[in-house]
């Protein structure tokens, strides 16, 4: 009897683990946006690579920072892959003012990442 219960426990545990893995939220990384930022602003490459998704998102990736919202408004669709459209959205975000009163373009021109 013990042997059967151990086998049942192992099967149930495996099933639970597989179910949890299948139901886990899907990661929606969009590396094309970071790549587009680095191509448009090569002087900020090292800083951008350090910050990665943090350019547009706080720790909660479902949220967006002001810069991320500004870039998002310029994109035609969710998960845009067209490099030109991404570059256009980044350029449009340059004109938007941050909380500091400076535009994101002014920050970038000063060699700082948008905040």
DSSP codes of every residue in 37-79: HHHH-GGGHHHHHHHGGGGT--SSTTS--HHHHHHHHH-SSTT
User: φ and ψ at 97, to 5 degrees?
Assistant: -80, 140
Smallest CA-to-CA distance from 80 within 40, 45, 28 is with: 28
pLDDT tens column, 37-79? 999 999 999 999 999 999 999 988 889 999 999 999 999 888 9
What does the block give as tokens for 3? 């042997």
**CA 40/CA 110 separation, integer angstroms:** 15
Banded pLDDT at 110 (limits 50, 70, 90): very high
pLDDT of residue 20: 61
Instruction: Tell whether the model's pLDDT for residue 8 goes beyond 80.
Output: no
pLDDT of residue 29: 72
């Amino acid at each position: 009897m013990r042997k059967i219960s151990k086998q049942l426990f192992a099967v149930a545990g495996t099933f639970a683990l597989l179910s949890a893995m299948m139901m886990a939220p899907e990661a929606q990384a969009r590396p094309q946006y970071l790549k587009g930022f680095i191509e448009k602003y090569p002087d900020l490459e090292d800083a951008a690579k350090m910050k990665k998704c943090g350019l547009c998102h706080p720790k909660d990736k479902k949220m967006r920072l002001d810069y991320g919202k500004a870039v998002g408004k310029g994109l035609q669709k969710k998960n845009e892959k067209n490099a030109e459209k991404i570059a256009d959205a980044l350029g449009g975000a340059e004109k938007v003012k941050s909380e500091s009163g400076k535009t994101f373009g002014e920050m970038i021109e000063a060699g700082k990442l948008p905040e």
